[in-house]
Amino acid sequence: MLEQLGFVSHSHGAAGREEYHVLPETEHAHLYCDGCGRTWDIPASDAGSLVEGLDRTHGFLVDVPHVTLSGLCANCRRAPGQP
């Protein structure tokens, strides 16, 4: 109901759990580190080339606030045995 009224928006975390953000808020995507579990909000513009490429190549319009990219943060990448 709060989303329909424009008070909150929702997105999905790396494990699929729903996350809610109070509006107004700038559109953003998320990064999730599989190593330490930390998350970051990134501006939609940081996802720009990926979003534009998917649109250009596949005709796919990405819902940026629902995007969570999983990987390893800089600290976890420096851990022994990581690429």
- Residue 81 backbone dihedrals phi, psi, to 5 degrees: 85, 0
Q: What is the pLDDT at residue 53?
A: 94
Q: What is the pLDDT at residue 57?
A: 96
pLDDT in tens, the chain (83 residues): 777 776 777 777 666 777 777 765 678 888 999 999 999 989 888 988 899 999 999 999 998 877 889 999 999 999 887 76
Q: What is the pLDDT at residue 24?
A: 55
Q: Which helix (H) or strand (E) holds 19?
A: strand 18-22
Gyration radius (Cα) of the chain, Å:
15
* Integer angstrom CA distances of residue 36 from 1, 12, 46, 60, 77: 34, 18, 22, 31, 10
Q: What is the pLDDT at residue 83?
A: 64
Residue given tokens 């970051």 in the structure block: 40
Q: What is the pLDDT at residue 26?
A: 75
Residues 30 and 74: their CA atoms lie apart, in Å, by 16
Domains of the chain, CATH where assigned = 8-77 (3.30.1490.190)
